[in-house]
Structure 1
Amino acid sequence: MNAKLLVAGAALTLGMTSVAHAGPTLDAIKSRGSLQCGVNTGLPGFSNPDSQGNWTGLDVDYCQAYAAALFGDANKVSYTPLSAQQRFTALQSGEVDVLARNTTHSLQRDTALGLNFAPPNYYDGQGFMVPTALGVTKGSELDGATVCVQPGTTTELNLADYFRARGMNFQPVVIEAFDEVNAAYFSGRCDVLTTDISGLAGVRATLAPNPDDHIILPDVVSKEPLAPAVRHGDDQWYDIIKWVHHAMVEAEEKGVTSENVDEMLKSTDPTIQRLLGVSGDMGAQLGLDNKWAYNVIKQVGNYGEVFANNVGMETPLKLERGQNALWTNGGLQYAAPIR
């Protein structure tokens, strides 16, 4: 073997055995003693506060999963409610450590805004909701409609693209606050409410006086990979956010749940052993305790549990797994190998 190959091999071995160096974000979080998570101001099923200020939802569970991985305690997290227009500035400025707020991963946000996106925790698409009494059955019948939409979103851009591509006209009713745009629709200020289909399902199920008075049209007018985001420049923090998601998906695929995770510590499956910190040094590679994924699963659950508890068929939203099923069931959720 020549000298160049020897040097290359040594470098590769060193890279495989080194552990993560603490980055500025992780240092700041540990010094503070809690995670600061940016969430929606109130989106049923994803991030929504109750009358006592307790937050619940799929994105909230992700915030708790990060805290469990970092501290071994899912409760060491505070929430910063952010509007669509506030969210990126809050992340860029350091007001929040991570944005877990039904945000679409797009090229411009990935580059010009200086963000890194984790794998999508919910694959979605934009749709339209209309009053049943309007008699509309598909998007192509919306020519001339007034449409309620939030500014500073991919929703607003997709709306314009959809109508322009079809030679149709519409009148936008642009309102920033989530509760105000919904109120405008229900009061009749606009014919149509448009946002991600999961959001429409939440609004219809929890805010409509009578859900049967409103219909979500079958049209899916965009791809909306909703994903947590962090700032550019801290690879270690980005790695942690990514791998918490992979661990939750891997746990579901391997049948590891919040209820059986302690029993699964006895598993002879090498993948489960690495996932739960029984063997290997996966946590150290991330700068975390080797029980990081065990703590996530024990305290928050695997991906399937989080989906079912917040937006699944037994919740008011009644959303099917669809694209968010595991890849083994025809969906898009796929975990990179934990090894």
Structure 2
Amino acid sequence: MRFVLVLLTLLGVCGSISVAQAGSVVERVKARSIVRCGSVKRPGLADPVGQGRWTGLNVDVCRAIAAAVLGSPDRIEYHEYETAKDFDAVRKQQDDVYFLTGSEINEQKLAGKLVPGPTVFVESHAVMVASTSTVHHIDNLAGDSICFMIGSSVERSLQAYFDALHRNWFRRAFSEDGEMIDTYNVQNCHAIAAEITTLAMIRLDSGVNRLSSRILPESLTSFPLMATTGTNDAQWSAIVAWTIHTLISADSPEIRWYASGAGAMPITAPELGLDKEWQRRVLASVGNYGDIFERHLGKGSRLRLARGLNANQLRGGLLLSPFLE
């Protein structure tokens, strides 16, 4: 009986320690001096560049969080979620910040594991055609062939779009990216549909015929890529959210009545363990959201995408964070 009591006591202590550790993400991050982030690989958002190094908008947001908490934007690790097994890092809360879409959360049954945080990018399903094409809008493709990946959410978006128009289109479904891109580049289909970041990357590879392409202005659908955190630590979720809000609000235009930069939404939060200079340090490390977008996705990057829906709402986009109204 004494042995059983001792065993139960030990199990209780271990369980308490486990719960405490699970709920102390900030302490865990500071102890290892690394912020761990991860996502599906996407051009301009999360691109591997070799030897465990990554670049992209998501990566810079991760760096901003490291600057806020650890004082240095370089104290990060970035991981790719490609297979169901990779997503175990989310289920087991092995990383600290997860950049995910609604479909990824649903498909991997992660809703009960995550706090959905701020939107870091509005992704779109779009359509691309040859620059010489007479097609200038998606509805002009009625009756034409469109390449897409079979079983993807892009396929659903295409079908829904043309169903709404009561128009037919010719389906060219592929199971391999390379085959689909080659088919499009030799113009054996009139157009190609994918996420807009993927299309921007495909546009860089002109193929054997040196094909020049342009992305049509409409979106089939648009959806948020969110910075999510585990459900076990509200303090950590708040730090991540306020860091992202700082990046977005600092991108707002400065006018007579509204400040920009760190003054757009000053966050004094010693309760979260953040010092007085944390916002200025974040912006000095990675710039504001507009700077990050331009660096990895904008007109000055190789992808050459317009801000579009990812502009600040004060500039006609969808991104909006708290500011001193």
TM-score between both structures, scaled by the size of structure 1: 0.71
CA distance in 2, matches of 1:139, 1:51: 37
Going from structure 1 to structure 2, the CA distance change for 1:77 and 1:112 (only over 3 Å counts) comes to: closer
Going from structure 1 to structure 2, the CA distance change for 1:327 and 1:227 (only over 3 Å counts) comes to: same
CA distance in 2, matches of 1:74, 1:144: 48
How far has the Cα of 1:109 moved from its partner?
Answer: 7.4
Match of 2:206 in 1: 208
What is the 5 A alignment of 1:83-232? Answer: 83=82, 88-100=87-99, 103-104=101-102, 108=106, 113-114=111-112, 115-131=114-130, 136-140=135-139, 141-143=141-143, 145=145, 147-149=147-149, 154-165=153-164, 166=166, 168=168, 170-171=170-171, 173-175=173-175, 182=181, 185-186=184-185, 192-204=191-203, 206-209=204-207, 212-232=211-231
How far has the Cα of 1:310 moved from its partner?
Answer: 1.5
Which of 291, 305, 311 is the equivalent residue of 1:325? 311
What is the 5 A alignment of 1:19-30? Answer: 23-30=23-30
Going from structure 1 to structure 2, the CA distance change for 1:287 and 1:109 (only over 3 Å counts) comes to: farther
Q: Percent sequence identity over matched residues? A: 28
Say if 2:76 is the partner of 1:77: yes
Going from structure 1 to structure 2, the CA distance change for 1:215 and 1:328 (only over 3 Å counts) comes to: closer
1:118-168 per-residue CA deviation (whole Å, 9 max, x = no partner) reads 2222224211123457765443325463532275x6434323423444353
Contact 2:65 2:282 in 1 (8 A): yes
The amino acid of 2:309's aligned partner reads Q
Say if 2:298 is the partner of 1:312: yes
> SS in structure 2 opposite 1:130?
strand
Going from structure 1 to structure 2, the CA distance change for 1:228 and 1:159 (only over 3 Å counts) comes to: farther
Contact 1:196 1:224 in 2 (8 A): no
CA distance in 1, matches of 2:30, 2:250: 26
> SS in structure 1 opposite 2:30?
helix
Which of 263, 267, 271 is the equivalent residue of 1:272? 263
1:73-100 per-residue CA deviation (whole Å, 9 max, x = no partner) reads 1111111122386665542232432223
Contact 2:251 2:261 in 1 (8 A): no
How far has the Cα of 1:37 moved from its partner?
Answer: 1.3
Which consecutive residues of structure 1, in runs of 5 or more, have no partner in the other structure? 1-21, 256-267
The amino acid of 1:250's aligned partner reads S
Aligned length: 297
Q: CA RMSD of the aligned region, Å?
A: 3.9
TM-score between both structures, scaled by the size of structure 2: 0.73
> SS in structure 2 opposite 1:317?
coil
Q: Determine which structure has the larger strand proportion and give its number.
A: 2
Going from structure 1 to structure 2, the CA distance change for 1:54 and 1:112 (only over 3 Å counts) comes to: closer
CA distance in 1, matches of 2:271, 2:178: 42
Say if 2:28 is the partner of 1:38: no
CA distance in 1, matches of 2:261, 2:251: 16
Going from structure 1 to structure 2, the CA distance change for 1:75 and 1:202 (only over 3 Å counts) comes to: same
The amino acid of 2:35's aligned partner reads L
Match of 2:7 in 1: none
Contact 1:105 1:225 in 2 (8 A): no
Contact 2:146 2:169 in 1 (8 A): no
1:27-85 per-residue CA deviation (whole Å, 9 max, x = no partner) reads 33333321221134351x22223356542211111111111112111111111122386
Contact 2:265 2:323 in 1 (8 A): no
How far has the Cα of 1:248 moved from its partner?
Answer: 0.9
Which consecutive residues of structure 2, in runs of 5 or more, have no partner in the other structure? 1-21
Which of 272, 276, 286 is the equivalent residue of 1:300? 286
Contact 2:147 2:180 in 1 (8 A): no
Going from structure 1 to structure 2, the CA distance change for 1:335 and 1:211 (only over 3 Å counts) comes to: farther
How far has the Cα of 1:324 moved from its partner?
Answer: 2.3
Going from structure 1 to structure 2, the CA distance change for 1:144 and 1:313 (only over 3 Å counts) comes to: closer
Contact 1:42 1:49 in 2 (8 A): no
> SS in structure 1 opposite 2:161?
helix
How far has the Cα of 1:233 moved from its partner?
Answer: 4.0
> SS in structure 2 opposite 1:96?
coil
CA distance in 2, matches of 1:50, 1:304: 22
CA distance in 2, matches of 1:41, 1:228: 15
Match of 1:258 in 2: none
